[in-house]
Amino acid sequence: MAKSDKTQDENLNTKCFSDLLFLAKGKRSSIDFCNECGISPSMFSRYLNQKNKRSCPIEILKKVAAHAAPESGVTFDILVAANDGTASCDYVLHPDISIHEVIGIITTVLLMKQYQCKYPSKDTAVNIMGLTYKPSWTIETTAIDTVNMKKWDFFIWNIFGSTATEEDRFVRQLLIIIGAKHLGYINFDKLTFIFTDYALFQSIIQKASSLEIDCCISLLYIDSVAKRIVQEYALKSTLTFAQVLSPVNMDVSDNTLLFPDKNNLL
């Protein structure tokens, strides 16, 4: 294997690339999409399921981009960026609000409530038996117990299917995360799933209402148009913890909200 090929293999962002392929095919089956593109269904399946770690041939990227669902936002340039490991999929998966805006909104609220915040010094991604646990964002803050700095992970929820599909997917992922935490694979003091679709947010609250867990996990709805936090909902837990992100009774200007003073971060 040539040295350049090895570098490409190591750089492929398999999770991001898989997400982009899922978006590109839209409502079509994988077989139908591959037939339209003129590509191998088995190869497509391996990339979709994150089984192929090798960079995808450029000709395949061109075909996928040419037949991508119009509403997906998937372009050749974005596929190339995921293929060489330089892409962040947040701007594709969340077209109404960026991860930087989400960070600004949450950080501003915490700072205005007089909590200390700082960014962790190392990557929080963890590989668990072939599955990757990688939060969209992580902070250390006094907002969890008001005295000591604790680790708070955030996931922005990506919508890939119908409400019923997303409900089931959420419960599956939640149980996997709880199991991994119990086994010591991952460590967080609080975990929050962020939603920008209010109907789905409410639906998942109903779906998860019968669960009782033994860690601090909450759901957060952010209005992606108004760029503000609307509600934080704590899942039923044997532990007691505050829903510190709501209600938010503050008059915050857009500029302050989206661009917090980073000098206040530790």
CB 42 within 8 Å of CB 51? no
Residues 81 and 195 in one domain: no
pLDDT of residue 86: 62
Contact between 109 and 256 (Cβ < 8 Å): no
Angle at CA of residue 245, ends 244 and 247, nearest 5°: 95
CB 152 within 8 A of CB 139: yes
What was the pLDDT predicted at 11?
A: 62
Does residue 144 share a domain with residue 234? Answer: yes
Please tell me the distance from the alpha carbon of residue 161 to that of residue 252, in angstroms, as a whole number: 34
Pair 205, 86 in one domain: no
Domain boundary among 93, 113, 136: 93
Counting the structural domains of the chain, the total is 2
| 14 and 143 co-located in one domain | no
Strand partners, 127: 132
Domain closes at, from 32, 67, 93 = 93
Element (H, E) at 18: helix 14-25
Residues 241 and 206 in one domain: yes
Full pLDDT tens readout for the chain, 266 residues: 333 343 344 567 777 788 888 888 888 899 999 999 999 999 999 998 888 888 899 999 999 999 988 766 678 888 887 887 665 555 445 556 777 788 888 989 999 888 999 887 666 667 766 667 878 889 999 999 878 899 999 988 877 667 787 888 888 889 889 998 988 889 999 999 999 889 999 999 998 888 888 899 999 999 888 888 999 999 988 877 767 887 655 444 443 444 444 444 44
* Domain, as residue range, for 170: 99-264
Supply the DSSP symbol for 263.
Answer: G
